[in-house]
Structure formats: C-alpha cells, structure tokens
A and B are shown apart, each in its own frame.
Chain A
Amino acid sequence: MTTTNPLALNAVALSKQVTSPEGTLTILDGVSFAIERGCSVAICGPSGAGKSTLLALMAGLDSATSGEIWLDGTELGGLDEDGRAALRAHRVGFVFQSFHLVPSLTALENVMLPLELDDSDNPRTRALEILDSVGLAARTSHYPHQLSGGEKQRVAIARAFAGHPTVLFADEPTGNLDTATGDTVVDLLFSLNQQQQATLVLVTHDETLAARCDRRIRLAAGKLVASD
C-alpha cells in the first residue's frame, strides 16, 4: 500500500484551461509543488488567481488539462470519476465556505454520510463521537436550516474528519462567518488536524490564518509565485 508514502500531495506541471465563447482561458499555468504528510498548507492569492480551481484539481473534483496530481501516492489522471470519488470517500475530507450540508439530513446523518459511503464500521457511534468533539452533541437531530452558520460549519468539519482522511481540503472555511465564530472554527480545524495527523490544505485570504499554517503557496493569475 501507499500509506507510507511521504508525500500527501504532489502536483506536477499542472495546467487548466477552459474554452469559453471568448476563446481559451488559462486558469492555471504549469503549477508544481509537493506537500508532505501531516503538514498544514495555506493557498493564498488575490481573487481570481485560481485557488479554488487548484483545490478542485487536487481533490479530483475536476480534471487537469495537462500535468499530474498524485494524491497519497495515486495519480488522479489514471482514475475515472467514480474511481476518484471512491478515493475521496476513503482519504479526503472537505470543508467549504458555504458549508454544503445535505438539507434533507440531520446533523448526525450528514456526518454519517461519508462513513456510510466508505462502508466504515459503526458509522453512528463514530459520528456521535466526532459531533461531541466539535461541541454539537446536543444538536445531532437538528436539520441544517435549524443551525447557525458557525454550527453548520462545525457539522461540516465533523463530517470532514469523521472518516479519518489523509488530506483535508478547506476552501475559505471562515469566509461566511464573523471573526469570533471563524476563530472557533479554525481552532477546531487545526486541533482535529493535529489529533488525526491529517494533511490540511486550506484556501484563504486571511493572512493571520495563513500564518498559522506550516507552509504557504501563493498564486497569482494562475501561476505559482511563491512557496515556502
């Protein structure tokens, strides 16, 4: 198995182009970098730089025009959409700016969902446990529309960590929250990341948040401009 692979993510000469009525638009242009297991990385850059696109490529949500992405030792280009989904179910967690909870499921069911998709044992016990650790033990049977933004994001974090992911992606996780709530959420994100020894990749505009990460990758106009 590849679990001993030292690199959680490896991007090689990654490019993404889209064709629009106005012509071909290059969103990402020859981006390469590597991320070791267990570290936290912030992807920063001005709006429109291509951060979300990069995140989508790394998670296999979209496919690159050229270049390679290795996620935990597997090259995503060699997998079809279902193969990538299966890989995500097993190794990847997600937290979004706009939470993206399934409106028809309760907090508990939302957290159980990836566990069930991955055929984990005792999804219910595990989901209750992690909801407890994000401080939402009392809200398990509530539906998303009954929760506040911060609570929704905490459910999303619980859902992301429930399956013990190798990599956790977060796209502007505090973008929709006020500062205080955002701080709680970020604290939670980092502490769970620590506990689980996961790799954290987060997109942010917030320099203080970026500063809390082990590394920063900076993008501008689709190019990698700095990486430490």
Chain B
Amino acid sequence: MVKAVKFGLRSLWRDARAGELAVLLAALIVAAGTVTAIGFLTDRINQAVQRQASEVLAADVRLRSAQPIAPKVFATADRLGLNSARILNFPSVVYFGDESVLATIQAVSDGYPLRGEVRIAPNLGQAGTKVDAIVPSGSVWFDSALLARLDAEPADVIEIGASTFTIGAILTFRPDQSPGFSGFSPTLIMNIDDVPATQLVQEGSRVQHYALIAGPQASVERFISEFSALKIEGVRLQSRGDAGNQLNNAIDRAGRFLGLASLISLLLAAVAVAMSARRYAYRRLDTAALMKTIGASQRFILTSALTQILVIGVIASVIGAALGFAAERILTTILADLLQDDLPGASFAPFVLGFGTVLILLVGFALPAILRLGHTPPARVLRKDLLPAPTSAFITYGFAVLALGGLVYWSVRDLPLLLVILGGTAITGLVLFGVGRLLVFLLSKRTGRVGVAWRYGLANIARRGTESAVQIVAFGLGLMVLLVLTIVHNDLLRGWRATLDATVSNQFIINIQPDEAKGLVELIENEGLTTPELVPLVRARMTHVDGVAVKERQYDAPRGRRLANRDANLTYGNNLPASNTIVEGDWWGTIGSEKMLASSGSTMPTAEHHVSIEVEAARSMNIELGNVLTINVAGTEISATVTSLREVRWDSFEPNFFMVFSPSALAEAPQTYITSLNVSDEQRPALRTLVRAYPGVSIIDIEAALDQVRRVIDKAVLAVQVVFLFTLLAGVVVLFAAVQSTLDERRYESALLRTFGAKRRTVFAGLATEFTMLGFASGIFAALGATIVGGLAATQLFNMPLTINPWLWVVGAFAGAVIVGVSGIIATRSAVETSPMTILR
C-alpha cells in the first residue's frame, strides 16, 4: 500500500515535470473554478433579482387596507426581527396662494422605503440625490408636476387641510411609484406624524393604509404564514413575487446567462476530463504491464493510479477553488450594488465545493479509464497491441451520467432542466457522432489527385474513422459552445447597450391636450431639443369580446380578469413601434394596407377597425386573432377585430401599450398626447420653461430610474464577461484535449515517415492538412449546432428575437480550420522537430 502510494507519487512528479498532466489539470481547474465562482454567483444574482422586485413595493411584503392596519401585525413583524414602516395614501387639495391642485398625499413613517431609495433635488431641473431620512415634520417634498401646477418654488409655504408646510425639496424618485401613466397624479410626500394635524384623515375618508415589511427571507416567509393565520379581513398582502420592474429583465437574463455559461463550462470540462483521462490511462498501460510482469498486484497498480488521480484532484481543486474564490470576490465586488446584502466573510466553502466538483468529475469521467488500467494484460510487455478488456459500457456511461446529473443538479437545482440537459446531451452526442462519421466519410472521398501531404493527411482522417469522428465531435462541441455563447453574449450586450445609450428618453411628457400639441412641439424645438413624436392616448374600457360582456367571460389567470376589467390607456397609429414585433397575424400598417390598397385603392381599411394586442396580455385575457373587441370611449362603443398579436420590449423606455388600434377606430375619440424626450443635464432648464408654459402637462423624470438600470447593467455586463472568459477557457481546454488524444500516435507516425525519407515539410503539411480539415468539418458542424442551440437559447431562455446569421457558417468553418489547424500543428510540432530516433527508440 505505502509502496504503491510512493510509487504513484514519484511517477506523478515525473509526469508533471514532463508536462503530461497539463490538460487534465486544466480541465479540472476550470471545472472547480467555474463551480465555485459562478455557482455561488448565480445564487446571489437570483437573490438580487428578487430584491429588485421588492423595490417596487419598497418592501419585501406590503399590506394594503382601507382600514388602519392592526398593531398586532406590526408586533408580529417586530417579534420576527423584521423591519416595518407605515404609509397613508390619500387624495387632498393642496393650496398655494390662489392656486389649488388635487394631489396624492403619501405620508410615510420612519424607515420608508425599506427597499429601494428615495431621491430628491433642491429645485426643478436638477438631478436628484439619494436621501437617508424621511421628510422632516413640517416639510413636504413635491414632485415636479405638483410644483409646476401650483407654480410654486422650494421654500414656499403651502396649505394642506388644517396645516401649513414648507416645500423642502423636489421628489425625483421613489421606488413604489407606479411605472405606468394611468392614475398618475401630482404627488407629495409628508411625514406621517403630521397627518393628524391636517385633520384630513377621518372616519369615512378615502385613505389607503399600507404596512411595509422587510428582512431576511426566512423571517419574511414566517411572517407571511403567521399573517395569514391572523385572518384579518380586508387586508391585501403583496409580496415581491407579484411585482416586477424594468431591471428584472436585465438581471434575470444575466442570471440565466451565468447559469447557462456555468453549465456549459462544466459540460466542456467534463468532456476534457474524459478525454485527457483516457489518454492518461492509455499512456500508463505499458508501465502497468511491466509492473505486473515484475510482480506487482492489481491492487498495487490501482492504488498507485488512484493516488495519482487523487493528488491531481487535490491540486486541481485547490488551484481551481482559489481561482474561483478570487473570481467570486472580484465578481462580488463588481456586483456589489446589485447584490446589496452584506458579503459573507472568506470561508472554506468554495474549497469544499471545488473539491467536490473535481472528485465527481474524476469519479465520473476518469475513474472508468483508470479502473481499466488494473486489468492490463501483463503479456503487453511482449505484444504491444494487447489492451485491457474494455470496461462495460454500463459502468462507463453509468458513472458519467450519474456524475453529470449530480453536478448539474447541484449547480442549478432544477430537475426539468436537468432532464432536458441529460437527454439533450445524449441525443446530441449520438447525432454528432453520426454527423462526424459522415464528414469523415466525405473527407475520405476527396482523395483524388492531390499532393502527398494532402493524401497523407486525408488518409489519416479516414483511417482513424471512429477517432476522427470523436475528435470532430469534441472540436465541434467546443467550437459550437463558443459560437453559441458569443451569439447570446453579443445579443445580450447589444440589448443592454440600447438601454445604456445616453440618448434614451429620460423624460416622459403626458397630459398634452390636442390644442397644446403644436405649440409644445415648437417650444421643444426652440429649446434645442430633438423634435418629439407625439403618441395619442385614449382612455377606454373594454366592454365586450365577440359580443360577450367582459365581466361574464372566463379567465384562466387572475391577471387576465384584472387587465380586462380596468380603465386602459390605448393608442392608435399606422406604424409599428420599433420595440414591438408581430408574432401572430399582420400589422395593418404594412401588409394589411398594401392588401387594401390593391383591392380597394385606399390606404386605410375603412370597412372595419383593427386592433393589435400585446401577446402576453391577449393570452391572459383569452383573446385570440379574429376576436372582435368592443371598447367604451367616453360613452361611445367602438368595435375592432384583433388582427395581430405583438411582443413588446417593455424595457425599451418608449411609450408602449397593450392595445394599439388602427387610426380609423380612435382618430375622433377624446384624447391627449404623450411623448418621450432625451434631456441632458445641460438642457434641463428647458423643462422648467416647458412646465411654466404648459402647466397642464406633467413631466415624469425617469433619469434616476434609468441611472439605476444603467449602473446595474454595467455591472451585469462585466460579470457576464468574466464568466464568458471561464467558458472560453473550458472550450480551449477541450480543444487541447482533443488534439492531444491522438498525439502519441501521430508523433510516432511522423517519425516513421521521416525515417522513410519524407521531408519535414511534407510531414508538416500532412499534419496541417489533417488538423485543418478536421477543424473545418468541426466548424461547419459547430455552426449547425450553434444555429439550433443558439436559436433555442435566445427564444426560450432569453426571450430575445431569433437572429439567423449566415456569417456564423463562414466564421465557424474558418475559425474551426484555423484554431484546430494551428493548435494541432503547435501540439505536434515537437514531433516533427525532434529527431525521429528519440521517438522510435
């Protein structure tokens, strides 16, 4: 035992110095690094997504009631160690001099907001900064709309109910501001302690009471269950699961990308481990046979091999975990804004995790090859071609499937995804192998009149049929993954960049009356801002679908009932907004009108009105193409046929609507306009002019929200880049493992050829041909796979439009040929350069 271990260690040391273990080690290190860094981070990102969702509520849980919320609710929160805060929300008239405006009063208690932040600015047109405390008693914070309507200035004194207040600052951002335009009214924030003095909140007044609760997840869950046990009537509980905001999309995609990338790195690392372990075992066959010949037992052979593997494993997991740990630290620092919660101190967890991963990979992918070593026939010392009996496929694949399944489950904890991945990997593997064989066959047919080197190279591919196919699959997989990730990564970044763009609209102007439109546009132009596009906005309520009253219809989802039964903001127009894509039916503005044009000579459908609905909303309201919707606009009923369903990129920061009608339907209806503008910091005074000139319009400043999105996305982009790097590494390791897998044989052959008098250049050209053609085949193959997988990933995982890219094939084939060709040549160069004698001896 001790001798076997000693022997194992000694040979290991030698092999390591001879660079024999590099690929195996690299594969294991990448795997360990991936799991420790990314696995951990994915968890954190998911938490961050939930946290972002919380911000919309300004809490983890929000209770809403028309009655004051019972003290026992707050007592429960207290007992569970949760933070809490209260809000009173009611409408009231605000007086300033001769002016008065109906405003929404948001009276808040200490601690508000529990999640997210409030930003205020000293005056109109200035950028907001985050506040640490709530508005002091006696002061109020006005939003810009209210300030403009009252024509007031900060420090002016205003009246609300029986009290007077000083305008302390301009409220530029609060997390629980509803993102839509409906129900938007001028708002002010006051201290909840000032409410009684106003004498506005009395029995029967229209007041909403809110309780905000936040704290550690487990306690919040306890609170939710204890709260339901209290059975308090008339209180609606909203948890963060119900809410969503623009950030979710971006962060959620980042999280998915990280998850996908880490999974792929793991798979690649597993492939690389399997290939390099096979070679590792293969190169030890001779020694194993010799050891048996001079009296070593099977156990000796196995013990020494396992010692080596274990030591490799320990080294790999220590390096990998250290790398992962460092990467995790860096990523966490980068993402500090996003993750927000306190960072846990350094711990041994990553090392345990890394070692676990390495162990599983070794057991699953290296052990079968190693176990086989114990069965080396000793007679191999006399006959080179004797190999150990192959390990049963059951053991080999059983181990691998178990290991892979365990790893995937461990890192994503998602059973359906696990099954999809395992099944997908198995099917893909088989298909790939078939395609690989086919490509080998096709290559071998091209042996016509070509030079010696070509013939030699191509003949090699054909002769090693199965191995070549395996190599094509390995190269192909590696390249494919890189292509897929590059596509997804680029699409992701492009999408985000659009959001990050400094020219994205940061101001929404709403409530523009038709008679103000012209003057307002002129004023905006005169102020040197870009000409805005005014979008008509019509308030309406859906009454019937195909003649059935909306209230009587069946809805699968509660969201559908809510959407169908509320006052909605609609628009009309001939052009499909840029951030919209038709997923079903036709848009009248394009195909529809051309058809009409051809048949009736008119550019607009007149006989019937059309409506296009956002696809998710349509589904939840059980509305399909061809349904006739009836809406009530200021007392008039208008019907339109659903002729298209749209997908809407809500994070595009453009005015978007669930329903868009053809112009004929709503052109005559009472309407206002909204528009969006990009206003840089220097241009901000223009807003002031605008508000003074048109006190009726409201400006919603989303710069703060946009800024928050930008900051988060900036970090997410960085994180994605770091992870992408890991996956790239794994891909490169696979390529190397694949090149190495037949290296010994190639070395030997090229030495032989040179002994027979082949010029070095010929041998070189032969090898170059072989690798380049292998790479070319793999590249084509990778492009095929990438198109399919990338398409699936984009549409299914990332909700992004599918982009078919013909360049993929060119790039794939070219990159394959170059990368595999060059790395193959580099790897075999030594074979061609050293004297044939040293290899043949």
Contact indicator B11/A88 (Cβ below 8 Å): no
- A-B CB contact pairs (8 Å), 25 listed: A61-B382, A62-B377, A81-B292, A82-B297, A85-B296, A85-B378, A86-B295, A86-B297, A88-B293, A88-B295, A89-B294, A89-B295, A89-B296, A102-B11, A102-B291, A103-B287, A104-B13, A104-B287, A113-B294, A114-B294, A116-B3, A117-B291, A117-B294, A117-B295, A171-B382
Contact indicator A109/B10 (Cβ below 8 Å): yes
Binary contact track B289-304/A, C-beta < 8 Å → 1, others 0: 0111111111110000
Specify the chain B residue showing the minimal Cβ separation from A171: B382
Contact indicator A61/B377 (Cβ below 8 Å): yes
Query: How far does the Cβ of B254 sit from chain A's closest Cβ, in whole Å?
Result: 47
- Which of B419-475 touch A at CB < 8 Å? none
CA separation between A81 and B287, bound complex, in Å? 17
Contact indicator A85/B3 (Cβ below 8 Å): no
CA separation between A166 and B293, bound complex, in Å? 15
Specify the chain B residue showing the minimal Cβ separation from A101: B290
Interface presence of A59 (CB below 8 A): yes
Q: Contacts A61-B382, A87-B295, A94-B381 given; 14 further ones with Cβ under 8 A?
A: A52-B383, A61-B293, A82-B297, A88-B295, A100-B293, A102-B11, A102-B290, A104-B15, A104-B287, A105-B11, A113-B291, A113-B294, A117-B296, A145-B838
Interface presence of A159 (CB below 8 A): yes
Specify the chain B residue showing the minimal Cβ separation from A119: B3
Interface presence of B286 (CB below 8 A): yes
| Complex partner residue of A81 from B10, B15, B298, B841, CB under 8 angstroms | B298
Instruction: Give the 7 A-B residue pairs with the shortest CB-CB distance, closest first.
Output: A89-B295, A104-B14, A104-B11, A61-B378, A61-B379, A62-B379, A82-B297
- Which of A67-113 touch B at CB < 8 Å? 81-82, 85-90, 92, 94, 96, 100, 102-105, 109, 113
Given the contacts A62-B377, A109-B10, A85 and B382 also touching, CB distance less than 8 Å: no
Query: How far does the Cβ of A34 sit from chain B's closest Cβ, in whole Å?
Result: 23
Query: How far does the Cβ of B14 sit from chain A's closest Cβ, in whole Å?
Result: 4
Specify the chain A residue showing the minimal Cβ separation from B294: A114
| Complex partner residue of B298 from A82, A105, A149, CB under 8 angstroms | A82
- Which of B264-313 touch A at CB < 8 Å? 286-287, 290-300
Question: A109 to chain B: which residues have CB within 8 Å?
Answer: 10
Question: B297 to chain A: which residues have CB within 8 Å?
Answer: 82, 85-86
Interface centre among A87, A117, A171 (most CB of B within 10 A): A117
Interface presence of A56 (CB below 8 A): yes
Specify the chain A residue showing the minimal Cβ separation from B16: A104
Interface presence of A55 (CB below 8 A): yes
Contact indicator B841/A149 (Cβ below 8 Å): yes
Interface presence of A29 (CB below 8 A): no
| Complex partner residue of A59 from B14, B293, B841, CB under 8 angstroms | B293
CA separation between A99 and B226, bound complex, in Å? 80
Given the contacts A61-B381, A61-B382, A116-B3, A102 and B287 also touching, CB distance less than 8 Å: yes
Contact indicator A104/B10 (Cβ below 8 Å): yes
Query: How far does the Cβ of B368 sit from chain A's closest Cβ, in whole Å?
Result: 20
Specify the chain A residue showing the minimal Cβ separation from B286: A100
Interface presence of A118 (CB below 8 A): yes
Question: B10 to chain A: which residues have CB within 8 Å?
Answer: 104-105, 109
CA separation between A52 and B293, bound complex, in Å? 14
| Complex partner residue of A117 from B300, B377, B382, CB under 8 angstroms | B300
Q: How many residues of B contact A (CB 8 A)?
A: 28
Query: How far does the Cβ of B285 sit from chain A's closest Cβ, in whole Å?
Result: 12
Contact indicator A118/B15 (Cβ below 8 Å): no
Query: How far does the Cβ of B547 sit from chain A's closest Cβ, in whole Å?
Result: 78
CA separation between A105 and B300, bound complex, in Å? 16
Binary contact track B377-420/A, C-beta < 8 Å → 1, others 0: 11101110000000000000000000000000000000000000
Specify the chain A residue showing the minimal Cβ separation from B375: A81
Question: A102 to chain B: which residues have CB within 8 Å?
Answer: 11, 287, 290-291
Q: How many residues of A contact B (CB 8 A)?
A: 34
Question: B298 to chain A: which residues have CB within 8 Å?
Answer: 81-82, 85
Count, A-B residue pairs, CB within 8 A: 84
Specify the chain A residue showing the minimal Cβ separation from B14: A104
Given the contacts A85-B378, A96-B381, A118 and B295 also touching, CB distance less than 8 Å: yes
- Which of A102-146 touch B at CB < 8 Å? 102-105, 109, 113-114, 116-118, 143, 145
Specify the chain A residue showing the minimal Cβ separation from B6: A116
Question: B290 to chain A: which residues have CB within 8 Å?
Answer: 100, 102
Query: How far does the Cβ of A204 sit from chain B's closest Cβ, in whole Å?
Result: 14
Given the contacts A62-B379, A102-B287, A105-B11, A94 and B841 also touching, CB distance less than 8 Å: no
| Complex partner residue of B292 from A85, A90, A96, CB under 8 angstroms | A85
Contact indicator B379/A82 (Cβ below 8 Å): no
CA separation between A116 and B377, bound complex, in Å? 22
Interface centre among B11, B287, B291, B381 (most CB of A within 10 A): B381
| Complex partner residue of A82 from B7, B299, B383, CB under 8 angstroms | B299
Specify the chain A residue showing the minimal Cβ separation from B292: A85
Query: How far does the Cβ of A160 sit from chain B's closest Cβ, in whole Å?
Result: 8
Interface centre among A56, A82, A94, A104 (most CB of B within 10 A): A104
CA separation between A23 and B358, bound complex, in Å? 45
Question: A56 to chain B: which residues have CB within 8 Å?
Answer: 379, 382-383
Specify the chain A residue showing the minimal Cβ separation from B297: A82
Specify the chain A residue showing the minimal Cβ separation from B284: A104
CA separation between A49 and B782, bound complex, in Å? 51
CA separation between A143 and B14, bound complex, in Å? 10
Interface centre among B293, B298, B381 (most CB of A within 10 A): B293
Question: A82 to chain B: which residues have CB within 8 Å?
Answer: 297-299
Question: B291 to chain A: which residues have CB within 8 Å?
Answer: 102, 113, 117
Question: B379 to chain A: which residues have CB within 8 Å?
Answer: 56, 61-62
Query: How far does the Cβ of B55 sit from chain A's closest Cβ, in whole Å?
Result: 61
Query: How far does the Cβ of A30 sit from chain B's closest Cβ, in whole Å?
Result: 20
Given the contacts A100-B290, A104-B14, A149-B841, A114 and B382 also touching, CB distance less than 8 Å: no
CA separation between A204 and B107, bound complex, in Å? 105
CA separation between A103 and B297, bound complex, in Å? 20
CA separation between A169 and B290, bound complex, in Å? 14
CA separation between A177 and B11, bound complex, in Å? 27
Query: How far does the Cβ of A175 sit from chain B's closest Cβ, in whole Å?
Result: 12
Query: How far does the Cβ of A134 sit from chain B's closest Cβ, in whole Å?
Result: 17
Specify the chain A residue showing the minimal Cβ separation from B378: A61
CA separation between A53 and B377, bound complex, in Å? 13
Query: How far does the Cβ of A189 sit from chain B's closest Cβ, in whole Å?
Result: 17
Query: How far does the Cβ of B15 sit from chain A's closest Cβ, in whole Å?
Result: 6
Specify the chain A residue showing the minimal Cβ separation from B290: A100
Question: A114 to chain B: which residues have CB within 8 Å?
Answer: 294-295
Interface centre among A61, A109, A143 (most CB of B within 10 A): A61
CA separation between A205 and B170, bound complex, in Å? 105
Query: How far does the Cβ of B747 sit from chain A's closest Cβ, in whole Å?
Result: 14
Query: How far does the Cβ of A97 sit from chain B's closest Cβ, in whole Å?
Result: 9
Question: A87 to chain B: which residues have CB within 8 Å?
Answer: 295
